[in-house]
Structure 1
Amino acid sequence: MYTKTILLAIVALSSMLTTRTLAQGKEQAAVAQAVQQLKQLMIDPDKAKLESLASDDLSYGHSTGKIEDKKAFVEALTSGSSDFKTIDLTEETITVVDNTAMVRHKLMAETANDGKPGQAKLAVLLVWVKQKGNWKLLARQAVKI
Structure 2
Amino acid sequence: MTSVLRDLSERWFWAWLDKDAATVERLAAEDYLYVAPDGSTLDRRAILAIICSPSYRLDHGTRSEVVVRVLGHEAAVVRHRYEGAGSFEGASFMDDQRCVMVWEKQAGEWRLVMEQCSFSGK
2:113 aligned with 1:138, yes or no? yes
Give the unaligned 5+ runs of structure 1: 1-26
2:11 aligned with 1:37, yes or no? yes
1:137/1:81 Cα in 2 relative to 1: closer, same or farther (>3 Å)? farther
Q: d(CA) in 2 for partners of 1:81 and 1:122?
A: 22
Tell me the SS of whatever aligns to 2:7. Answer: helix
Instruction: Tell me by how many angstroms 1:60 deviates.
Output: 0.7
Higher mean C-alpha displacement, 96-105 vs 79-88: 79-88
Contact 1:50 1:74 in 2 (8 A): yes
Contact 2:2 2:68 in 1 (8 A): yes
Letter of the 2:75 counterpart: T
Q: d(CA) in 2 for partners of 1:36 and 1:113?
A: 22
Contact 1:80 1:115 in 2 (8 A): no
Q: Which runs of 4+ in 1 moved over 4 A?
A: none
Structure with bigger helix share is 1
Letter of the 2:10 counterpart: Q
Between Structure 1 and Structure 2, how many residues are aligned?
Answer: 119
The two structures have a TM-score, normalised by structure 2, of 0.89
Q: d(CA) in 2 for partners of 1:134 and 1:76?
A: 24
Contact 1:83 1:114 in 2 (8 A): no
Question: In the TM superposition, what are the counterparts of 1:54-93 in structure 2 within 5 Å?
Answer: 54-80=28-54, 82-93=56-67
Instruction: Tell me by how many angstroms 1:81 deviates.
Output: 5.3
The two structures have a TM-score, normalised by structure 1, of 0.76
1:102/1:60 Cα in 2 relative to 1: closer, same or farther (>3 Å)? same
Instruction: Tell me by how many angstroms 1:87 deviates.
Output: 1.6
* Residue matched to 1:127: 102
Structure with bigger strand share is 2
Instruction: Tell me by how many angstroms 1:82 deviates.
Output: 4.7
Residue of structure 1 aligned with 2:84, choices 90, 98, 109: 109
User: Which structure would you say has the larger Rg?
Assistant: 1
